């Protein structure tokens, strides 16, 4: 049988890191295929190689059996390939139909020849009439709901004669009702012969929308399967996504740790982000929170640190209720966050290592007049650089000139310098090499002897490998809480992608 799209043996590496290795996939006309895999498995790289954002290192792309040269998004468009990303970019003040036809307003002889609005509007209405929904294309985009924006973005792709549509987590900001509208749209597109690549973390959507799925793991496709009777076995898929077991990366759990209560979180909620989160973090332990990207765990980490405000619930530390209005207050109350995004939240770009290490606790580096004691600062920062074995020629090296692992170690060193009773590590090892990873994990275990340590991550292995107790968050709610010894990676992942239920479409 002839495929609409065939990708074969795609290789792509970034700075020596193999992101895709011999990956392939096929797509029939009118088929919707889900791409599944944990973060960093290669899904995004795969679709970006198809949509021309990345140039692949090796491999072929065939459309209708013919090889195509795709080196830029423009080439991809010419081959009938369009991608719609989550929260699509549009010109807010333009109407829906102006956005649909943006850049293809028809032949114009000169820069100043007027755009025929009536014709565009007519064309848009005609386009919309082929689909089962009402949308007012004369409304400016900034007045539109998320699903209407999504539809406009898809219509824009269709107006360019799109035959292969890539939807990248299209439902991440949609409500249940809006999702239904989008799914109806996708079904109609399939009937009209459009082939769809659908990226999502949610298995219930896969069952509702897709005909087949491919699972990515470590840059390879480990399985292609068709979906029969609208049923997806989440256990089986979780196993495929994870593959290998826990390695020796994680330090041993001490058997003699003295455990005592420290931080109590009760019914913590933030509207639209997370709801009713309750747990206790204890001195002597590492508490793990696992959830996928977008599940609300990033907001949760910032709320515990005073950088975002809860809408309900309380944070109690050592018996006292905390009202944290800012990170500064949290630091003074003995809470420190190693934030999720190192570049924009972790280190100070263009400033020296010593500067970065002492910034959260300057009173420790200053004398009574408030002047920095440079010698003391250098000594203290130097001791932390040695302790975490940060590889640098000197303390006045700019942090942005270090490798990712060493940058992250500087952020951790900042926390050690500040000193805290509660350490929160959010996504602590994104873009960090294995050596630095194990150093950071060891530091976490070390800290847990005298402080409560919380690891919040979208990597299940790192949560289970480090934590003594784990919580899984699914769409902002607690889906599971267990001692690490009593659960498995698979169980955690099943809860994170489907709330623990086998889903039916």
Partner 1 sequence: MKRLLTPQRLPVALFALLFIAVLVTFQLLQPLFLSLDNIINIAKSVSSTVIAAVGLTFVITISRSDISFYMIACFSGVLMAWLVSKGWHPVLAVAAGLASGLAWGGISGVAVGRFKLPDIITTIAIGSIGFGMGYIFSDGAFIMENFIESKAHYLSELRILDVPLPVYIMLVVVVVCYFLLERSKFGRGFYAVGATEKTAYLSGVNVNRVIIIAYVICGVLAALAAMIMTARQGYGNVKITMSILMPCFTAVYIGMSVFKRPCVTGTFLGALLVTVISTGFTSINIPFYWSNLVTGFVLIAAIMLSKVNFQGGRARATGGAAK
- Site map (CB under 8 A) of partner 1, residues 241-280, x = contact: ----------------------------------------
* Site membership for partner 1, residue 379 (CB under 8 A): no
Give the bridge partners for 268, in sequence order.
277
Nearer to partner 1, 53 or 359 (CB): 359
Minimum distance, C-beta of residue 428 to partner 1, in the bound complex (Å): 14
* Cα distances (Å, whole numbers) of residue 329 to 304, 361, 449: 11, 12, 24
Q: Out of 65, 132, 319, 370, which residue is the one contacting partner 1 (CB under 8 A)? A: 370
Q: How many other CB atoms are found less than 10 A from the CB of residue 388?
A: 21
Minimum distance, C-beta of residue 339 to partner 1, in the bound complex (Å): 5
Minimum distance, C-beta of residue 395 to partner 1, in the bound complex (Å): 15
* Site membership for partner 1, residue 327 (CB under 8 A): yes
Nearer to partner 1, 400 or 450 (CB): 400
Q: Out of 9, 267, 328, 435, which residue is the one contacting partner 1 (CB under 8 A)? A: 328
Q: For residues 98 and 93, what is the distance between their CA atoms, to the nearest angstrom?
A: 10
* Site membership for partner 1, residue 337 (CB under 8 A): yes
- Site map (CB under 8 A) of partner 1, residues 418-447, x = contact: x-----------------------------
DSSP state of 344: I
Q: How many other CB atoms are found less than 10 A from the CB of residue 192?
A: 12
Q: For residues 433 and 426, what is the distance between their CA atoms, to the nearest angstrom?
A: 17
Q: Out of 213, 347, 441, 474, which residue is the one contacting partner 1 (CB under 8 A)? A: 347
Q: Out of 97, 101, 355, 425, which residue is the one contacting partner 1 (CB under 8 A)? A: 355
Q: Out of 344, 368, 386, 486, which residue is the one contacting partner 1 (CB under 8 A)? A: 344
Nearer to partner 1, 213 or 305 (CB): 305
Q: Which of 337, 340, 328 is nearest to 263 (CA)?
A: 337
3-state class (DSSP) for residue 182 = helix
Q: Out of 256, 363, 386, 486, which residue is the one contacting partner 1 (CB under 8 A)? A: 363
* Site membership for partner 1, residue 393 (CB under 8 A): no
Nearer to partner 1, 89 or 129 (CB): 89
> Which of these ranges, 96-104, 339-347, 379-387, 471-479, lies near partner 1 under the rule CB under 8 A?
339-347
* Site membership for partner 1, residue 394 (CB under 8 A): no
Residues comprising the chain, all counted: 505
Minimum distance, C-beta of residue 343 to partner 1, in the bound complex (Å): 8
Tokens of 99: 């956005």
Q: Which of 389, 380, 379, 381 is nearest to 442 (CA)?
A: 389
Tokens of 28: 């029939």
Q: For residues 313 and 269, what is the distance between their CA atoms, to the nearest angstrom?
A: 6
Q: Which of 156, 198, 149 is nearest to 34 (CA)?
A: 198
> Which of these ranges, 92-100, 212-220, 331-339, 438-446, lies near partner 1 under the rule CB under 8 A?
331-339
* Site membership for partner 1, residue 366 (CB under 8 A): yes
Q: For residues 440 and 429, what is the distance between their CA atoms, to the nearest angstrom?
A: 8
Place of tokens 């050690």: 416
* Cα within 13 Å of Cα(227), Cβ side: 27
Tokens of 39: 């973060």
| Apex 355 CA angle, 353 and 358, nearest 5 | 105
Chain center to CA of 437: 19
Minimum distance, C-beta of residue 401 to partner 1, in the bound complex (Å): 7
3-state class (DSSP) for residue 339 = coil
Nearer to partner 1, 331 or 440 (CB): 331
Residues 442-471 that bind partner 1 (CB under 8 A): none
CB neighbour list of residue 420: distance below 8 Å, 6 or more residues apart? 331, 334, 335, 336, 451
> Which of these ranges, 219-227, 228-236, 239-247, 362-370, lies near partner 1 under the rule CB under 8 A?
362-370
3-state class (DSSP) for residue 502 = coil
Q: Out of 21, 257, 293, 359, which residue is the one contacting partner 1 (CB under 8 A)? A: 359
* Site membership for partner 1, residue 322 (CB under 8 A): no
Residues 286-305 that bind partner 1 (CB under 8 A): 305
Nearer to partner 1, 203 or 330 (CB): 330
* Site membership for partner 1, residue 332 (CB under 8 A): yes
Q: Out of 226, 401, 449, 504, which residue is the one contacting partner 1 (CB under 8 A)? A: 401
3-state class (DSSP) for residue 304 = helix
Place of tokens 């949308």: 135
- Contacting positions for partner 1 (CB under 8 A): 305, 307, 326-328, 330-332, 337, 339, 343-351, 355, 358-363, 365-366, 369-372, 398, 400-401, 414, 418
């Amino acid at each position: 049988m002839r495929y609409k799209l065939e990708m074969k043996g795609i290789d792509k590496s970034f700075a020596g890191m193999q992101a895709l290795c011999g990956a392939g996939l096929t797509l029939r006309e009118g088929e919707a295929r889900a791409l599944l895999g944990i973060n960093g498995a290669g899904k995004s790289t795969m679709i970006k190689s198809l949509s021309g954002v990345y140039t692949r290192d090796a491999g072929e792309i065939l459309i209708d059996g013919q090889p195509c040269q795709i080196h830029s998004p423009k080439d991809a468009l010419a081959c009938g390939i369009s991608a719609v990303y989550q929260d699509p970019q549009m010109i807010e003040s333009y109407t829906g139909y102006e956005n649909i036809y943006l850049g293809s307003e028809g032949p114009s002889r000169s820069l100043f020849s007027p755009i025929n609005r009536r014709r565009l509007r007519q064309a848009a209405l005609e386009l919309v009439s082929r689909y089962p929904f009402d949308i007012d294309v004369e409304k400016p985009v900034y007045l539109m709901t998320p699903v209407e924006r999504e539809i406009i973005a898809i219509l824009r792709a269709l107006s360019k004669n799109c035959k292969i549509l890539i939807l990248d987590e299209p439902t991440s900001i949609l409500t249940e009702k809006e999702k239904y509208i989008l799914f109806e749209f996708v079904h109609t597109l399939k009937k009209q012969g459009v082939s769809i690549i659908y990226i999502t973390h949610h298995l219930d959507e896969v069952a509702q929308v897709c005909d087949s799925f491919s699972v990515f793991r470590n840059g390879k496709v480990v399985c292609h399967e068709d979906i029969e009777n609208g049923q997806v076995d989440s256990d089986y898929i979780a196993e495929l996504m994870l593959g290998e077991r826990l390695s020796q990366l994680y330090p041993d759990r001490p058997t003699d740790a003295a455990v005592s209560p420290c931080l109590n979180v009760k019914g913590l909620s933030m509207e639209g982000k997370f709801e009713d989160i309750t747990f206790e973090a204890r001195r002597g332990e590492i508490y793990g929170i696992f959830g996928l990207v977008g599940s609300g765990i990033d907001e949760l980490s910032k709320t515990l640190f005073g950088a975002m405000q809860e809408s309900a619930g309380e944070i109690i530390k050592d018996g006292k209720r905390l009202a944290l209005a800012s990170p500064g207050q949290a630091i003074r109350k003995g809470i420190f966050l190693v934030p999720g995004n190192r570049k924009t939240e972790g280190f100070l770009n263009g400033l020296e290592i010593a500067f970065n290490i002492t910034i959260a606790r300057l009173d420790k580096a200053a004398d009574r007049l408030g002047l920095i004691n440079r010698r003391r600062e250098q000594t203290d920062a130097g001791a932390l650089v040695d302790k975490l074995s940060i590889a640098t020629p000197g303390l006045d090296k700019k942090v942005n000139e270090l490798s990712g692992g060493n940058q992250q170690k500087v952020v951790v060193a900042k926390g050690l310098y500040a000193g805290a009773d509660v350490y929160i590590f959010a996504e602590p090892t994104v873009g960090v090499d294995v050596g630095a990873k194990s150093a950071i994990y060891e530091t976490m275990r070390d800290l847990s002897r005298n402080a409560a340590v919380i690891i919040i991550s979208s990597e299940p292995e790192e949560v289970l490998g480090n934590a003594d107790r784990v919580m899984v968050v699914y769409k902002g709610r607690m889906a599971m809480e267990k001692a690490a010894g009593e659960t498995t990676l698979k169980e955690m992942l099943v809860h994170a992608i489907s709330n623990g239920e086998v889903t039916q479409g």
